[in-house]
Amino acid sequence: MRIKLDENIPVSLVTALDALGHDADSVPQEGLTGKPDPDVWRGAQECGRFLITQDLDFSDVRRYAPGTHHGLLLVRLKQPGRHAISRRVISLFKDHDPDLWRGCFVLATEVKVRVHRPPSENGT
């Protein structure tokens, strides 16, 4: 899977996700640090990348409707330190098949993963 890490996700995850067989890059690596969210989103979509973020500006499932993009993982932890985020993201990518999240809006907390799939995958 091609992945882009937002600037609020530890850059060290690029190496960890690459080691799991993914093609990861980050907002800082592309010089998008501090850019508005629409620029970050456009950068991910133009490169066909699944965006991983903590930014609540990406939390509107209607605005980021499943099936209209390459995929979005919103990580929401009660204590979102760098190590906690890294551990959670790595566990998500080890314990789940992230290829099934292509085009989906995924919300992950410490204990839960909620996957909003495109309408055609929901049987509607």
Residue 45: how many CB atoms within 10 A of its CB? Answer: 14
Residues 9 and 50 sit within 8 Å (Cβ to Cβ): no
Length of the chain: 124
Instruction: From 105, 54, 109, select the one nearest 77 (Cα to Cα).
Output: 109
For residue range 24-58, what is the model confidence (pLDDT) as tens digits? 999 999 889 999 999 999 999 999 999 999 999 99
* pTM of the complete model: 0.94
